[in-house]
Structures are given as structure tokens and as C-alpha cells.
Amino acid sequence: MTKAELVEKVANQINLTKKQTEVVVNTVFQSITESLSEGKKVELRGFGSFRIRERNARVGRNPKSGDKVEVPAKRVPFFKAGKELRDLVDNQ
């Protein structure tokens, strides 16, 4: 599902225009993004949680040349599905 499809589906469920619904969806995504960038965890009960994971520096390999490459440490977003979501996906 794309963001446009999500906006359309939500707009059909509530009494807002697609433009108004797009503002709501963008606000939700922006709020999640801002919280993660500040190092905060975002938990949506019944759906899952977003958090930041620290990746250590490591030595990688260039697949084309086979040369060793230093990969620096970094922070990456991580999503963990909630129990309800895991059960729904597993039973489909």
C-alpha cells in the first residue's frame, strides 16, 4: 500500500477530503519521525513500536572488488510488530 492509497482509504472512512486526510497522515508520519530522531520510542498499542537501534562499526566487503571496507557505527530505525499484528499476519 502506498501513502496515496492509505490517504484514500482513510478519507473514505471519515468525513474529510483527501487533502485534509493527507495533512493528518503526514502529521502522523512527521511526529513518528521527529520522535525517533530525538531518540524517543514510539509505541502504537496493538500495532507495534518504533525505536532506534545502534549498529556497531564493522569491517565489510566490497562485493564488486572483494576489498575490505570500514563501515562506521550508525543509528537505524527499527520496527517491532505488536502481538495482535503478528497474530493477524501469521493466521492469514
pLDDT of residue 69: 94
Please state the domain extents for the chain: 1-40, 44-92
What is d(CA 84, CA 92) in angstroms, rounded to the nearest whole number? 13
Q: What are the tens digits of pLDDT across the range 31-70? A: 999 999 999 999 999 899 999 999 999 999 999 999 999 9
Grade residue 82 by pLDDT with cuts at 50, 70 and 90. very high
Grid coordinates standing for 77? 530505525
Fold designation for 44-92: HU Protein; Chain A (4.10.520)
pLDDT of residue 13: 92
Alpha-carbon distance values, 46 to 51, 59, 70, 74, 88 (Å):
16, 38, 39, 29, 11
What are the φ and ψ backbone dihedral angles of 89, each rounded to 5 degrees? -70, -40
Let me know if 7 is exposed, middle or buried by CB neighbors in 10 A (0-12, 13-18, 19+): buried
- C-alpha Rg value of the chain to the nearest Å: 19
